[in-house]
Amino acid sequence: MHELSLCHAIAGVVRPHAADREVTVIHVRIGALRQVIPETLAFCWELVAAQEGFDGARLEIDPVPASVTCASCSVTSDLESRYSISCPACGSCEVSVVGGEEFLITSIDVRAVSPSAVSPSAATTPERG
Ligand SMILES: [Zn+2]
């Protein structure tokens, strides 16, 4: 599964950045031409996150539309359909893809773990019996 290997790649990139901190959110930018299904990616991430020790970290997907620059009219526009790569302005097929192939982790949110502040303050519970 395509999405599963992407998730392993994400985990591999995030790990050294996270160090010992708890990752809460991973922001990924994904181009439309990557043909990633966000729901599938999120599902696969849960599996990978559990395996790789990123429990509690969720993916925040930032979709990027596919865009092309036209050789005929020089207009750069977003593609409305992923199935036809032609210039939406003039219909020419002489276009070069300038966006939509992104797959990058833009940032991660972490929660700093400070060892001295781990234990809850409710240290003594009075027992009545
Ligand atoms: Zn055009």
Domain boundaries, the chain: 2-113
Whether the model clears a pTM of 0.85, i.e. scores above it, the answer is: no
2-113 domain in CATH 3.30.2320.80?
yes
pLDDT tens per residue, the chain (129 residues)?
589 999 999 999 999 999 889 999 999 999 998 989 999 999 999 999 999 999 999 999 999 999 999 999 999 999 877 677 899 999 999 999 999 999 999 999 999 766 554 444 444 455 565
| Helix %, strand %, coil % of the chain (to 5) | 30, 30, 40
Question: CA–CA separation, 108 vs 41, rounded Å?
Answer: 17
Nearest to 9 by CA among 56, 55, 59: 59
Q: State in Å: Cα 82 to ligand 1 middle.
A: 17
Q: State in Å: Cα 98 to ligand 1 middle.
A: 14
